[in-house]
């Protein structure tokens, strides 16, 4: 069964800290991995998409890495801000067009001012 | 460019009724996927439509169905509603293109409450 797990389930850090969120997947035959953030009661906002042939992607203060062989991805957030507080979801796609994502349960991040 | 829009945003229905949710993808996107989000099960894939054809289907009963129109707009229908169908239903669109990419963009969701 294709499963995605995320550690930790919740994280609370003071403003300005650098932090790492982890995502693990059981089946390494992925096509894409995408990181999202979700604010309470809202839809998902795409952060970064990593194709299976790529090792990492960067956008501003965010950096996502992918290690297919070990079934892991990390999302690094530099210099965290209170506005980064949200739930971060990792999603993995196993079909050849990159759709039909399997989502992890998410990491709930609180950045304290 | 306008984002993914979903209507209605909130809906309250009674057990046994049916409901239709609508999703308008980002202009130029031909793929629309539907997801159900609940506190207990998290985000689960329902189905994906591409060029009016269902390309992928998740593990949901036949009460859940969908369709896509020639303008890429999609509708999702749930018949004989059950209390457990209460959830946030999210729609995502994607270019689904080797040239432009496969990134999924989500709408704000429709909050369905079944009483």
Minimal CA–CA distance to A36: which of A106, A109, A110, A111?
Answer: A106
Q: Which residue of B has its CA nearest to A44?
A: B106
Q: Coil, strand, or helix at residue A60?
A: coil
Determine the pLDDT at residue A42.
Answer: 83
Contact present, B54 and B44 (Cβ < 8 Å): no
Go through B23-44 and write b for each residue having 16 or more CB atoms within 10 A of its CB, e for each that does not.
bbbbeebbbbbbbbbeeeebbb
For the cut 80, the answer to whether the pLDDT of residue A100 exceeds it is no
pLDDT tens digit sequence for A41-86: 888 999 999 988 899 999 999 999 999 999 999 999 999 999 999 9
Q: Which residue of B has its CA nearest to A43?
A: B108
Determine the pLDDT at residue A38.
Answer: 95
What distance in Å separates the CA atoms of residue A67 and residue A80, rounded to the nearest whole number?
Answer: 24
Compute the mean pLDDT over every residue in chain B, rounded to the nearest whole number.
Answer: 92
Query: Taking residues B22-39, what's their average pLDDT?
Result: 94
Query: How close A59 comes to chain B (CA, Å)?
Result: 14
For the cut 80, the answer to whether the pLDDT of residue A1 exceeds it is no
Which of A59-73, A85-99, B92-106 is modeled with the greatest confidence?
A59-73
Q: Coil, strand, or helix at residue A94?
A: coil
Top pLDDT among B96 and B51 is at: B51
Residue tagged 């040239």 (tokens)? B99
Other Cβ atoms less than 10 A from the Cβ of A94: the count is 17
Determine the pLDDT at residue B1.
Answer: 67
Query: How close A104 comes to chain B (CA, Å)?
Result: 8
What is the maximum alpha-carbon separation in chain B? 45
């Amino acid at each position: 069964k294709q499963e995605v797990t995320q550690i930790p389930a919740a994280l609370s850090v003071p403003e300005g800290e650098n932090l790492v969120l982890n995502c693990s997947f059981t089946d390494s035959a992925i096509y894409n991995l995408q990181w999202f953030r979700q604010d309470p009661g809202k839809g998902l906002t795409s952060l970064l998409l990593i194709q299976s042939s790529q090792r990492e992607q960067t956008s501003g203060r965010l950096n996502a890495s992918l290690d297919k062989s070990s079934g892991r991805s990390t999302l690094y957030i530099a210099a965290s801000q209170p506005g980064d507080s949200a739930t971060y979801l990792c999603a993995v796609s196993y079909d050849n067009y990159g759709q039909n994502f399997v989502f992890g349960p998410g990491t709930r991040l609180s950045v304290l001012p | 460019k306008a984002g993914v829009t979903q209507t209605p945003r909130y809906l309250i229905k009674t057990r046994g009724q049916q409901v239709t949710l609508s999703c308008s993808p980002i202009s130029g996107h031909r793929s629309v996927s539907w997801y159900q989000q609940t506190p207990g099960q998290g985000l689960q894939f329902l189905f994906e439509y591409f060029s009016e054809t269902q390309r992928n289907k998740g593990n949901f009963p036949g009460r859940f169905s969908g369709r896509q129109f020639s303008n890429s707009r999609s509708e999702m229908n749930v018949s004989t509603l059950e209390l457990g169908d209460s959830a946030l239903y999210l729609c995502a669109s994607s270019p689904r293109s080797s040239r432009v990419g496969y990134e999924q963009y989500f709408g704000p969701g429709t909050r369905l409450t079944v009483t």
